[in-house]
Structure 1
């Protein structure tokens, strides 16, 4: 079995109500979308009169089914569900505020994603998700209700009920033979768990099971709409990303290669770079098209490094942006490496070393391109973690590309996590305190990079590996480059401020400041008070004062 295989059935009945305010649906994609995003199912039970409950339920489910598949493949399932549901919550709230008759418009929501060998749940309200496994029925969600003295129960959470929506998330392993049932309270409150278990166990066809649940509840006198969505798992694939990593890292490393040698139909033209772990070659295929081949040194082919290289390729394939090299498919690959597009040019670090002097205008233009690329990464929930001039390339046509996703993290997942990776002089102060690298630390590294392009120095001086630096105020850029405009200096000093709260929050905010430039300059940051820059200074001054006072008193004593 190479992919997830399920059968799904759905039934929704109006029952004793005048109108059906329940709504459910599901999406069963194919190919890469099935592997990356999985199968999504959802059931909602709307609240509010004048058919607004139905509108809330239907728009929420339809919006989730559409927008979830528009989220990047590098986002985790829960992150994608969370962001889409929060957006839908704001939409329902806005609709409820428009007219008097839509006040109170809201909906419950129970959603499930089956992807690879795991399931993921998102839930708010009192619709439910059950699992039948091995003859035993388990409720996988918790009802968000509280007891009311005059009513059976009142919802404490629902989409559109509160601007700060708290969504329950859960996940677990799928098993062949599992049956999952999403249903409104019109079904579960009427039938009870034992009747639900018996229907799901007796009826092997999900379509028939969903119909039996809804009709049984209606016949039993359910006072509400009755909706059931049933999925049975018939087959499972190997785990998606772990499968890729396991199969890719099992390939043998190429032997050390020299210009003129051929590997998998690719002719080596030049060794571009070598480090303790990685090797980069420029190669050409039979048609003469030049590529970059990235692999590992023979002595660095341990399991972790091999898996990290495969993971790097997986990430790079998902970054479809002109500011990054393109990953090239190569069907003839029989060794552990991956191919990228080749671009004639040099890194910004090489240009600095060659004596190139970047003008403020050039730095602003390059900064804009870097931030557009970094912003594209962040929208995919990828943190680069090693932005620096060495990893920024300008081709022969002046186009910038961001290189090396070797230590990048996606949605918190990465390899080689013993310490924060990166180059010390570009690492944000909070990373030295043990915090994890994130989007804010990427933006700090962009700020240091732009500062270096202008000043050929670092804002806090060069930081050596294993050094524990102290951060006061950054040195003004104009100390080294008097031709730097005040507005640009203000932007750079904000970008490399010691604490995240003082910096730009997003790549887009940083980019906007550069684009507005002198037309809307930032306020020049004031130097922090001396006591704020050195909190221990007060104790030092107190100790010195105490010593001086004691000496003075001793002299007075001896003078008598």
Structure 2
């Protein structure tokens, strides 16, 4: 479903001879709507100057036109910043070159709605409000002198100075959100309670955006406003599914939180425990203040604040986590207001397989079959969503106290759904070496079969505490021969299960299960429909180098024998 927004505006001159406000909006068709989004802007020309109206109109028209001419690869904030600063230079030059336009300047507030996010740019004292779930928030700060008698004097405006500082902001959009762009002729005459009341009529379905804008302007006039009064109202009717571009854009804008201690809060979430700290990420168990529900908060180390690659990878992980809505995975929870780069998931009591193994847990064959069946189901659920996990191992398999198995950590997962995932192809060995399929050490790209292999090694390790080809150290380039049968370490393993595991961890992908569903079927059939044992692999396929060494050795022996016979005959 594409982004759908209803809009309406109203503007009047009030008691002034000329209306120096200007409002505008562009709703493009696809693909521009997805690539660049919808943009709306309001400007209020500086009063008492002949160029006020010219400045406001040119600024809004120029922004609406030039924003769509910027490269699609630019972040929204960069595009807005570049365009507005170019317009600022033009407006100032006009004021300097033409005496009748000396000092021409204008305020500007613009909002872009793209995908599941909103972005805004702001200069001056026009304002942007957001009404969400009945609560009105002002998103912009007025750029005026802080002395009471000078609060009408601007400190920043388009055309006021050669160097322009622009306020930027962003946030996640929600269906039903109502945005208001208003000039001081409206907001200076109305209390925020009154503004919220008029917008609430729209949110409740008792008015449309045009009626809401008219009502706000008329209310400002009735309250005694003599200034130009303008309002532009936007209501989000439908949101598209979040795309990776939006997620990456958000990751660049939000600051990283400081390293947190137990008892501290972040956006209201109180830290109960530090769950895990890796090289790049931090996991906390937190409590939602509203519901008292335990959640997991994941973020990057503060030291990674300037690492664009880590930020992109983290945003990609969150984006994928939102795609996997199933009982086999923790579910992403959307916070009411997110001011830092992190994401929340459900918390589940229990332990990972690795924690249980480290604690000395012993798994019987029936337990391993039950856990393996659920693990392979989880892998299949990922693959049906075109996601390759790339790091399946006991530490990422969680057995909950509620009896559910959940697959954790999509930090190096690859979706193939977006062009941005091409970067994952450049790192085929991402993951844990002992669980990487043999072909990945020859730089083959990750695939569904590499996940099948990792799931097979996980079950093999759970039963035997060994690896089928031995443990592999980082940066090692191992040689894969014949996998050790698990019955060597666990004689109680049924023959049919051994055959299933050996097929799952076969060195050659052609000998492996082709899909997770095929692996699952073999586990479910068990002894009633066992798969055949793999035939002995010919030496030429198992170890070509050994074959040629043997041929060379035989050749040397034969040549030495011939030489010996020749010498004996010569005597």
Task: Indicate the TM-score class for this superposition, using the shorter chain for normalisation.
Answer: 0.5 to 0.7
Q: How much has 1:398 moved relative to structure 2? A: 2.6
Number of the residue aligned with 1:312: 317
2:157 equivalent in structure 1: none
Contact 1:444 1:496 (8 Å CA) reproduced = yes
Once the two structures are superposed, residues 203-252 of structure 1 have per-residue CA deviations (whole angstroms, 9 ceiling, x without a partner) of xxxxxxxxxxxxxxxxxxxxxxxxxxxxxxxxxx9994313311233211
Q: Counterparts of 1:262-341 in structure 2 under 5 Å? A: 262-286=265-289, 287-301=291-305, 302-341=307-346
TM-score normalised to structure 2 length: 0.56
Name the residue aligned to 1:455.
464
Secondary structure of 1:394 counterpart: strand
Preserved contact between residue 414 and residue 424 of structure 2 (Cα < 8 Å): no
Q: Quickly say closer, same or farther: Cα 1:487–1:280, change in 2 above 3 A.
A: same
Indicate conservation of the 8 Å contact 2:272/2:285, yes or no.
Answer: yes
Q: Secondary structure at the match of 2:544?
A: coil
**Largest Rg, 1 or 2:** 2
Residue pair 2:425, 2:446 contacting (<8 A) in 1 also: no
DSSP 3-state at the match of 2:299: strand
Aligned residue number for residue 519 of structure 1: 528
Q: In the TM superposition, what are the counterparts of 1:286-435 in structure 2 within 5 Å?
A: 286=289, 287-301=291-305, 302-411=307-416, 413=418, 414=421, 415=423, 417-420=425-428, 421-435=430-444
Q: Deviations over 1:85-108 (max 9, x none)?
A: xxxxxxxxxxxxxxxxxxxxxxxx
Hey, what's the Cα distance between the residues in 1 that align with 2:417 and 2:484? 33
Write out aligned runs for 1:3-402 (5 A): 3=3, 240-286=243-289, 287-301=291-305, 302-402=307-407
What's 2:539 paired with?
530
> What is the distance in 2 between the residues matched to 1:238 and 1:456?
43
* 1:507 corresponds to which of 497, 516, 522: 516
Q: Give the match for residue 557 of structure 2.
A: 548
1:354 Cα deviation after fit: 0.7
Paired residue secondary structure (2:399): strand
Counterparts of 1:239 and 1:357 in 2: how far apart (Å)? 43
State the 1:505 CA deviation: 1.3
Q: Is the 8 A contact 1:304 1:416 kept in 2?
A: no
Q: How far is 1:416 from its partner? A: 5.1
Contact 1:265 1:332 in 2 (8 A): no
Q: CA contact under 8 A between 2:437 and 2:454: conserved in structure 1?
A: yes
In structure 2, the CA distance between the partners of 1:238 and 1:556, relative to structure 1 (3 Å rule), is: closer
Q: Runs of 5+ in structure 2 lacking a partner?
A: 6-28, 38-113, 116-239
Q: Which runs of 5+ in 1 are unaligned?
A: 6-29, 39-114, 117-236
CA contact (8 A) 1:249 1:310 kept: no
1:478 to 487, 504, 528: 487
CA distance in 1, matches of 2:548, 2:318: 52
Deviates more, 1:416-425 or 1:250-259: 416-425
Total equivalences in the alignment: 336
